[in-house]
A and B are shown apart, each in its own frame.
Chain A
Amino acid sequence: MRDRIEDIALAGPGILLLALAFVLPLVEMLRLSIVGADGGVTAEHFVRFLSDPYYLGVVWRTIYLSLLITIICAAVGFPLAYVMARVSPQMRLWLIVLIILPLMTSVVVRTFGWMVVLGRGGLIPFSLWKLGFVGRNFTLMHTEAAIVIGMVQVLLPFTALSILGVVMKIDRRLEEAARTMGASFLATLRSVVLPLAMPGILAGSLLAFTLSVSSFVTPSLLGGVRLPVVASSIYDAATKTLEWNFAAAQSVILLIGVLLALTPYIRLSGRRHG
């Protein structure tokens, strides 16, 4: 019993902070989303969003770009995590530092870097032009490709480190055993490491997906106004057209989407640990 009281005392400040910083705004957001122009309860904001092809297009773009970003992060993150898990401890430390270093700089700074590299006359378009792969000096800015490239760079560390945690726990002798049973290196990777790393790949992918659907800075800066995603649409409603109730309704929809994406995972990992 005494333990229980001490637990509460220790967790108290954190819980209080969470309540103030997270729960209160959330409640306020839920309230705003169902308040109509006349001050009464209404679903008009939700109906407006879900019945307008423009907004449905925004949702669709957000989802498929996030899926694409997630798949690329997992596909690049798994081999990266495997190599990191199997090199010497010093080498691994260096690789982790190398991967975490970009996280130390602001997303805005990193995204600005991409704007320079992807813009007209930037390193990539300019090289492609000079090497003769494209006919003219063009820009990659304000394309979905730019959003994907920028977001993968932002999210890859999260995915790779989630997978690394799981791959580190895979007993190396299982791979050796597979090799003595006739499996080549690639066959071992596919039939032993990949299935055992799956929990980490799922967790990392989910992290990438949820961060990706709700991200704002990188898609807005690299995609521009003609390629809005849900987060930038919320931003516009809240700051440009000043439709707070509509912004709140969009936020609730985004939140529900993220929670829906999380449920199967929570249920899965709950079963594993419980």
Chain B
Amino acid sequence: MATLDLTEIVKSFGSTQVLHGISLAIESGQFVSLLGPSGCGKTTLLRIIAGLEGVTRGSVHIDGRDVTGLPPESRDIAMMFQSYALLPHMSVRENIRFPLRMRRRGTRAEQDDRVQAALETVQLGHLADRMPRQLSGGQQQRVALARAIVSDPKILLLDEPLSNLDARLREDMQVELIELHRRLGLTTVFVTHDQEEALSLSDVVVLMNSGRIEQVGDPQTIYASPHTGFASEFLGSANLVPVKVIEGASGPQAQLPNGETIAVAVGTKPHGETHLVLRQEDLKLFPAKPGMSGDFLATVETRVFLGARIRYVLRMGDLRLKCLAPASDDFSAGERVTVRLPEGGAQVIST
């Protein structure tokens, strides 16, 4: 367990700069997600923390010690690769023992005990003597996890560890990761491009975009009040509607391109041009019944059945809105519906 401090990290490959000054302080024992679209520099940042990649500028401190110039083996970290990187010429047991052997932790017997404990943590005791190629993807993933935690590293680095698993296994592993983290309390940096995964697993979400940190916060905060258009779109796949904020009789109002107005959160400052954030799951749909204020009429353009929920694309004049409704709110394409916005007024981007 240790703190991790990144200071003004800049990274260029040749003439292309991929990280533009990343600063981040991670407290001991926190589970932090690096979240962002593919290619935004998450893996590069993780590799810099691991020491597999040098920095162009900036520094990395683990537990207050400057490790910027140290090779990976001197950093006391563990990293789980997206491809698992199990050593193909070693059995499961030898793979898990490898970090203990390389770091000369304890006697042979003590190492055996720790390997056994790690195997049991991931429920793989019965497969200890198999070779990696004899395991399924999910089992390989558990071996990689056992190997990462067995040496009790200061920092645990996980690069999209669940992305190669099918949906069911993935959910199981998410639960196990949370429990494992609660039990071991390892400072963990978890890379993902899946916003749900980041929000459900982490203490802190670090949202990245094109080599910069877009927003840092706990999952609730970052979900409820995204600071930028990118943040709101990426986190909730929200609809962004261009609006003007004006001071109406009953509080701040957002004026849509077609001239209609809706109430926005109390305290919102008047604003020339900004965006209204309408999260897909916050829009409620009813059979078309004109009347109530705050409700809008729209036409269902597309309907995608997702099992527990249905995704709609709605058309309101020139606007297209995405909406995620419970399966009980079933409308067919072409149908007219009433759209109700969330209570307490909608959010606008504050910048």
Residues of A with Cβ closer than 8 Å to B? Answer: 171, 173-174, 176-185, 187, 191-192, 195-196
Q: Contact check: which of A171, A174, A178, A195 meets B102 at CB < 8 Å?
A: A178
Q: Contact check: which of B85, B103, B147 meets A171 at CB < 8 Å?
A: B85
Chain B residues within an 8 Å CB radius of A182: 73, 99, 102-103, 151
Q: CB distance B72 to A174 under 8 Å? A: no
Q: CB distance B83 to A181 under 8 Å? A: no
Residue B32 lies at the interface, judged by CB distance under 8 Å to chain A: no
Given contacts A173-B81, A187-B102, contact A179 B87 (CB under 8 A): no
CB distance from B219 to the nearest CB of A (A): 28
Q: CB distance A180 to B52 under 8 Å? A: yes
Given contacts A179-B52, A182-B99, contact A195 B78 (CB under 8 A): no
Chain A residues within an 8 Å CB radius of B79: 177, 180
Residue B77 lies at the interface, judged by CB distance under 8 Å to chain A: yes
Given contacts A173-B81, A173-B83, A187-B102, contact A179 B71 (CB under 8 A): yes
Q: CB distance B85 to A173 under 8 Å? A: yes
Q: Contact check: which of B51, B87, B151 meets A178 at CB < 8 Å?
A: B87
> What separation, in Å, do the CA atoms of A176 and B77 have in the docked complex?
12
Chain B residues within an 8 Å CB radius of A196: 88-89
Q: CB distance A181 to B78 under 8 Å? A: yes
Chain A facing B: main interface SS: helix
Q: CB distance B52 to A181 under 8 Å? A: no
Q: Contact check: which of A177, A184, A185 meets B81 at CB < 8 Å?
A: A177
Q: Contact check: which of B50, B83, B88, B89 meets A180 at CB < 8 Å?
A: B50
Residue of B at shortest CB range from A185?
A: B71
**Chain A to chain B: the 8 pairs with minimum beta-carbon distance, closest first:** A177-B85, A182-B102, A181-B99, A182-B103, A179-B72, A180-B79, A183-B102, A173-B85
Residue B230 lies at the interface, judged by CB distance under 8 Å to chain A: no
Residue of B at shortest CB range from A176?
A: B52
Q: List 10 A-B contacts (CB under 8 A).
A: A173-B81, A173-B83, A173-B85, A176-B81, A179-B72, A180-B72, A180-B73, A181-B99, A184-B73, A185-B71
Residue of A at shortest CB range from B73?
A: A182
Chain A residues within an 8 Å CB radius of B51: 179-180
> What separation, in Å, do the CA atoms of A176 and B157 have in the docked complex?
13
Chain B residues within an 8 Å CB radius of A183: 73, 98, 102
Given contacts A173-B81, A176-B52, A176-B72, contact A181 B102 (CB under 8 A): yes
Residue of A at shortest CB range from B105?
A: A182
CB distance from B342 to the nearest CB of A (A): 45
Q: For chain B residues 267-291, which have a beta carbon within 8 Å of chain A?
A: none
Given contacts A176-B52, A181-B147, contact A195 B89 (CB under 8 A): yes
Q: CB distance A181 to B98 under 8 Å? A: yes
Q: CB distance A192 to B72 under 8 Å? A: no
Other than the given A180-B79, A181-B151, 9 more pairs (CB < 8 A) read A177-B85, A180-B52, A180-B73, A180-B77, A180-B157, A181-B98, A181-B102, A187-B73, A187-B102
CB distance from B163 to the nearest CB of A (A): 15
Residue of B at shortest CB range from A170?
A: B88
> What separation, in Å, do the CA atoms of A131 and B73 have in the docked complex?
43
CB distance from B38 to the nearest CB of A (A): 18
Chain A residues within an 8 Å CB radius of B78: 180-181
Q: For chain B residues 150-194, which have a beta carbon within 8 Å of chain A?
A: 151, 157
Chain A residues within an 8 Å CB radius of B85: 171, 173-174, 176-177
> What separation, in Å, do the CA atoms of A185 and B73 have in the docked complex?
9
Contact with A along B95-127 (1 / 0, CB 8 A): 000110011000000000000000000000000
Chain B residues within an 8 Å CB radius of A191: 98, 102
> What separation, in Å, do the CA atoms of A176 and B71 have in the docked complex?
11
Chain B residues within an 8 Å CB radius of A179: 51-52, 71-73
CB distance from B186 to the nearest CB of A (A): 14
Q: For chain B residues 45-73, which have a beta carbon within 8 Å of chain A?
A: 50-52, 71-73
> What separation, in Å, do the CA atoms of A177 and B147 have in the docked complex?
10
CB distance from A189 to the nearest CB of B (A): 13
> What separation, in Å, do the CA atoms of A180 and B73 have in the docked complex?
5
CB distance from B75 to the nearest CB of A (A): 8
Chain B residues within an 8 Å CB radius of A187: 73, 102
> What separation, in Å, do the CA atoms of A201 and B102 have in the docked complex?
25
> What separation, in Å, do the CA atoms of A187 and B74 have in the docked complex?
13
> What separation, in Å, do the CA atoms of A180 and B77 have in the docked complex?
7
Chain B residues within an 8 Å CB radius of A180: 50-52, 72-73, 77-79, 157
Q: CB distance A178 to B77 under 8 Å? A: no
> What separation, in Å, do the CA atoms of A195 and B81 have in the docked complex?
21
Chain B residues within an 8 Å CB radius of A174: 85, 87-88
> What separation, in Å, do the CA atoms of A179 and B51 have in the docked complex?
9
Contact with A along B277-315 (1 / 0, CB 8 A): 000000000000000000000000000000000000000
Chain B residues within an 8 Å CB radius of A195: 89
> What separation, in Å, do the CA atoms of A179 and B151 have in the docked complex?
14
